[in-house]
Amino acid sequence: MTIDTDLPASFWKYREFLDAADEATSYRSVPVRRPELWADGERVSIEAGLGGALPAHVYYGQALQPIVRVNTLHDVLVDPVSFNMYKTEAVEDVVRPGRLKPAADFLAAVFRKDAWIERALIGTTRSADNYYHWLVECMPRLARLAQDHPGETISVNRPKMPFHDLHHHFPQLPARTVPLLRPSFTREALVPSVSTRFEPDPRLSRHVLPAQDVLLFPQSVVSPAGRARRLFLSRRDANTRVLHDEERLCAELTRRGFDCVVMGELTVAEQAQLCSEAEMIISTHGAGLSNMLFRSGQPCTVVEVIPFSHWPHRNLACMYNLSMLAGFRHVLYDCSYESETTRLLSQNWSVDIDRFLCCIDAL
C-alpha cells in the first residue's frame, strides 16, 4: 500500500504500534476486511462513500487488538460504583468529602480495618448498566476469571438492569458471582484489563478490535439450535435511530423471510439465541446489534445503517470492530438524518425503502 504522507499524526502512531506488535507486548496486530458500502441501493467504493476519511485500522487493513492481562493488586480499597482500586496507604486522601460518592461509606470503610476480604476476583466495570459495555467489557472480565479460576466466587456490580440477572437467563454459565455492595478492602484483587482499552495509547482505543476475551461469554452460553434466520432489529422501543416508515420496511422484509424483532422486548437469553441463529442481521447503529457476538464462529452478514458522513469521525466504528472480531461480513448502508444541530444518536433516520430493499436482495 502507498502511504499518504499527509496522514494525521494518529495514523503514523498507529502504524508504529502495528509494526511493534507481537505476543510479548500487551497487544497484537490482526488483519481486517474493509466494510462494504451501499448507498441509494447501489454498491459504492469506500473512497466515494467516505471521501477518503477512513479510520486508521480500515486504512491499513490491519487492526491493533489488546491482549487481556489479569493483574494482581495487593492491599486495595475497591469502589463498588466505579470499580476503581485505591492503594490503602493513600486512601485517606482519596476519600476526602466531595471527592467520591458516597463519601460517608468510604470514610466508614477507611476506619473499619477489621473488615478485610482476603481475595476478590473483580468481574465487572463501571459501565455495567449500558448493554453494549456490559457485553464487551464486563462479561469478558467475568468469563476470563471463571475460566482461569473455576469454582471461585467473582465480585460483580449491584444488580440493576434486567440483563444483570445472569444465572436466571443463563443457568449454564460456569461462574459463581456475588454483588459487591459496599466499599471493600481486599488483601489481593485479581482484575483483568479492559478488553476494549488500548493501554499503550488509550486515544487509539476506538480504532482497535476488542480482545479475544470478548467471545468467551457468548460462546459459553449459546449454540445455534434452530433454523437459520435473517433478522431485522427494530429500535422503536428506544424511539431513537428508528427508520422512517419502518412498518412498511418490516412488512417487505417479512415477505422476504426476515424476523423483525424489538430486542428491548426480549430477554437477554432470547436475544442471544435469536442472534446465534442469524445468517444476516440488519439494524441501525445501536446496542442491540452487539448481540451479533452470539453468532461468532458461524457465517453472518451484518448490515449496519448509519450516516456515512459521521462514521469515520465519531466513535461509531464499534459495531464494525465487533463484526471483524467475530469474522463477519460487514455492510454499511448510508442514511439521512433530521438535523445537524441535534445529537446524531438522539435522532431518527431514514432510507429510501425501495432502494434499500434492492441492496438487501443483492446481498
Residue boundaries of the structural domains of the chain: 70-192, 216-362
**How far apart, in whole angstroms, are the C-alpha atoms of residue 266 and residue 284?**
18
216-362, what's its fold?
Rossmann fold (3.40.50)
List the one residue out of 9, 11, 23, 35 whose CA is nearest residue 318: 35
Phi and psi for 319 in degrees, rounded to 5? -75, -35
How does pLDDT run across 78-109, given as a tens digit for each residue? 988 889 887 776 555 555 544 445 455 655 65
What is the value of pTM for the model shown? 0.91
Q: What is the pLDDT along the chain (363 residues), one digit of tens a residue?
A: 445 556 788 899 999 999 999 877 899 999 999 999 999 999 999 988 988 788 999 999 999 999 999 999 998 889 888 898 877 765 555 555 444 454 556 556 555 655 688 999 999 999 999 999 999 999 999 999 999 999 999 999 999 999 999 999 999 998 999 999 888 889 999 999 999 999 999 999 999 999 999 999 999 998 767 789 999 999 988 889 999 999 999 999 999 999 999 998 999 999 999 999 999 999 999 999 999 999 999 999 999 999 998 898 778 999 999 999 999 999 999 999 988 888 988 888 999 999 999 999 999
- Classify strands 184-192 and 116-122 as parallel, antiparallel or unpaired: parallel
Q: For residues 350 and 244, is the Cβ–Cβ distance under 8 A?
A: yes
Please give the full DSSP string across 34-101, using - where no structure is assigned: PPEEEETTEEE-HHHHHTT---HHHHHTEEEEE---EEEEEEEEEPTTT--EEEGGGHHHHTSTTTSS
Cell numbers for 249:
420496511
Instruction: Write the DSSP symbol of residue 213.
Output: G
Residues forming a β-bridge with 191? 71
* Residue 357, pLDDT score: 98
pLDDT digit string (tens) for 267-299?
999 999 999 999 999 999 999 999 999 999 999
Q: Residue 268: count other Cβ atoms within 10 Å of its Cβ.
A: 23
**How high is the pLDDT of residue 347?**
86
What local confidence, expressed as pLDDT, does residue 340 receive? 84
Whether the CB-CB separation of 85 and 192 falls below 8 Å is answered with: no
